[in-house]
Amino acid sequence: MSQVTLTIDGKEVTVEAGTTVLEAARKAAIDIPVLCYHPELRPEGACRICVVEIEGARNLPASCVTPVAPGMVVRTNTPAVREARRTNLELLLANHPQDCFTCERNNNCELQALARDLGIKKVEVKGVRRDLPLDKSGFSLVRDPNKCVLCGRCVRVCSEVQGVSVLDYADRGFEAMVYPPLKRPLDQVACVNCGQCATVCPVGAITERSDVDRVWEALADDKNHVVIQVAPAVRVSIGEELGMPPGSITTGKLVAALRRLGFHKVFDTDFTADLTIMEEGHELLERLENGGVLPMFTSCSPGWIKFIEHYHPDMLAHLSSCKSPQQMFGALAKTYYASKAGYSARDIFVVSIMPCTAKKFEAARPEMNSSGVADVDVVLTTRELGKMIREAGINFAALPEEAFDEPLGISTGAGVIFGASGGVAEAALRTIYEVVTGEELKELDFTAVRGLKGIKEAAVTLKGRTIRIAVTHGLKNADNLLKKIKAGEADYDFVEIMCCPGGCIGGGGQPIPVDREIREKRMSAIYAVDRGMELRKSHLNPAVQELYKTFLEKPLGSKSHELLHTHYQERSRV
């Protein structure tokens, strides 16, 4: 690629042709303020906060959509530029409800930060404020159109990254707003509840539905035995939510914090991740041996499940019948654990901490009541747990390291890697290899399926049979892979699919902001936790072994089918 040299604020900068002025400035350590720009999305040039002066240009171009040119002279910090940015921001603020202190995104809002950084002292313009109804129809997400700044990031992430496109602009001029199709409520459209829109929203226009109050109430009620499960990806992100650097591993502090919040038992979704490997691994072997439907798709990610139900219902038979680890946990907590601990299913209140907004919908699925009542009562995101910890006045960083409770808190490294894209496939391989060959697997790291590449492939030969594996994440990638499989252009035995970019570490319930670098840090933290575990293969988990011996009998047995497996339904595409 050819190189272009230009001058930005008196400094010569050389970048690849096609680079935007904004990116070139960032390379020269000049941070031009942005609002609608997002590094992982196609630039739109909608907000005009990133304007700069370019010699010879008639006006102040938006740097995010202006490509560099040889000899270009750019000034990013002149009185005219500062004035224009302030005016553009003031106009946005004039239409924005100024109720920051009660907003979900208070102190983590890009609009608020811009107002501070650009030195807004007073909003002179009196703008029109509309009073549009909030969309609280769904279990996962809440839309507040009144706070929307029309940056279009949610529209772009929904179509470019997830390929779902349930958000777009409607109407025109002053009436223009982002809506689901036909302005229907979110629960009546083909939204998968992934929450990627919430993670890119610069303001509080799309947030998770908050269920924090329900958990406080459950904890305050003496009649409840409140148990909590924590998803793999949360231990490497809750620290970040509470001000620690991205990738901080805080498993022990997290357990300690949950005890201080008053949960009676602190358990680990990693335990049922190990159990998932036992069930799903055997399901794969069974399909391979008996000519079952292949490739088999993983079923842990509820955004992915809803996606295939809406968009590829003809492929539902490919899905593993295994419930997700969250739902396996709920079913076991209210049966196996309940009887062990002397409770009835109704006495136990199950809370999940998930990196995910779609898990809220999953827990509310009517079929998820194997125990006779809802198996999981409330799902909180990593962000909501952060709020509880702050509200309780817990000094997270200063907490001691504590261990999960037994028996549902015992897990292996194979369980924790469920939190990163490729983890389920790797964990399955570690177990399947030993089950099929009867030999010990020495090299545990299947690095081919790790990382942030969109589609990853691997093949393993077991007793003469080659098992071909694909791993993908982000629904646009998944959609492309499914189309290839349907067209006969790709052939696999086992496909791991995660809804969100990077897998659960990049989930819609994770700390904001997120970008590639942050995902990489969270991902390396997951593999560091795996390396540090005493046991790293699911079938060696002693608590899982005990569960089979005393309760489930064997993988895919009748008890497993009753509690740990599920079915799917076709849903409308529109």
Partner 1 sequence: MKAVEKTAVLTSGTVPKESLEILQKYKGGKGALIPALQELQANFGYLPEPVLEEVAKHLNLPLSKVYGVATFYAQFHLSPRGLYVIRLCTGTACHVRGSGAIMQKIRSELGLKPGETTADGRFTLEPVACLGACGQAPVMMVNDDTHGRLTPEMALSVLESYK
In the complex with partner 1, which residue's Cβ is closer, 46 or 113? Answer: 46
Sign of CA dihedral 141, 570, 320, 374: positive
In the complex with partner 1, which residue's Cβ is closer, 87 or 165? Answer: 165
Q: Which long-range contacts (CB under 8 A, 24 or more apart) does 389-397 make?
A: 389/238, 389/242, 389/257, 389/261, 390/242, 392/260, 392/261, 394/257, 394/260, 394/261, 396/238, 396/239, 396/242, 396/244, 396/250, 396/253, 396/257, 397/239, 397/242, 397/243, 397/244, 397/253
Provide φ and ψ at 523, rounded to 5°: -65, -45
Contact pattern from residue 115 through residue 154 relative to partner 1, giving x for each residue in contact according to CB under 8 A and a dash for the rest? ----------------------------------------
Residue 573 and residue 310 in contact, taking contact as beta carbons nearer than 8 Å: yes
Binding of residue 166 to partner 1 (CB under 8 A) = yes
Binding of residue 459 to partner 1 (CB under 8 A) = no
Provide the minimum distance between the beta carbon of 37 and partner 1 in the complex, in angstroms, as a whole number.
21
In the complex with partner 1, which residue's Cβ is closer, 554 or 573? Answer: 573
Contact pattern from residue 189 through residue 228 relative to partner 1, giving x for each residue in contact according to CB under 8 A and a dash for the rest? x---------------------------------------
Out of 65, 100, 170, 455, name the contact with partner 1 by CB under 8 A.
Answer: 170
Out of 171, 286, 401, 491, name the contact with partner 1 by CB under 8 A.
Answer: 171
In the complex with partner 1, which residue's Cβ is closer, 114 or 206? Answer: 206
Helix, strand or coil for residue 95?
coil
Binding of residue 574 to partner 1 (CB under 8 A) = yes
Binding of residue 465 to partner 1 (CB under 8 A) = no
Among 31, 59, 129, 37, residue whose Cα is nearest residue 513? 37
Burial of 408 from C-beta contacts in 10 A (0-12 / 13-18 / 19+):
buried
Contact pattern from residue 2 through residue 21 relative to partner 1, giving x for each residue in contact according to CB under 8 A and a dash for the rest? --------------------
Residue 508 and residue 192 in contact, taking contact as beta carbons nearer than 8 Å: no
Sign of CA dihedral 511, 514, 520, 521: negative
The count of other CB atoms within 10 Å of the CB of residue 165 is 14
Out of 7, 108, 137, 159, name the contact with partner 1 by CB under 8 A.
Answer: 159
Catalytic positions are 280, 283, 300, 320, 359, 362, 367, 504
Provide the minimum distance between the beta carbon of 168 and partner 1 in the complex, in angstroms, as a whole number.
4
In the complex with partner 1, which residue's Cβ is closer, 166 or 475? Answer: 166
Binding of residue 181 to partner 1 (CB under 8 A) = yes
Strands 73-75 and 3-8: parallel
Out of 7, 108, 137, 165, name the contact with partner 1 by CB under 8 A.
Answer: 165
Residue by residue, DSSP assigns 194-207 as --HHHHH-SSSSEE
Residue by residue, DSSP assigns 52-85 as -EETT-SS--BGGG-B--TT-EEESSSHHHHHHH
Which CA distances in Å does 194 have to 37, 69, 210, 326, 380? 21, 39, 15, 16, 14
Provide the minimum distance between the beta carbon of 574 and partner 1 in the complex, in angstroms, as a whole number.
5
Provide the minimum distance between the beta carbon of 171 and partner 1 in the complex, in angstroms, as a whole number.
5
Q: From 15-23, 121-129, 130-138, 180-188, give the range in contact with partner 1 by CB under 8 A.
A: 180-188
Out of 121, 122, 126, 172, name the contact with partner 1 by CB under 8 A.
Answer: 172
Q: From 160-168, 412-420, 448-456, 470-478, give the range in contact with partner 1 by CB under 8 A.
A: 160-168
Binding of residue 487 to partner 1 (CB under 8 A) = no
Binding of residue 169 to partner 1 (CB under 8 A) = yes
- Rounded Cα distance, 352 and 200, in Å: 24
Q: Estimate to the nearest angstrom the gap between the alpha carbon of 485 and the chain centroid.
A: 25
Binding of residue 307 to partner 1 (CB under 8 A) = no
- Rounded Cα distance, 298 and 273, in Å: 12
Provide the minimum distance between the beta carbon of 170 and partner 1 in the complex, in angstroms, as a whole number.
5
Q: At what angle do helices 475-486 and 302-311 cross, to 10 degrees?
A: 50
Binding of residue 293 to partner 1 (CB under 8 A) = no
Residues lying near partner 1 in the complex (CB under 8 A): 159, 164-172, 179-183, 189, 573-574
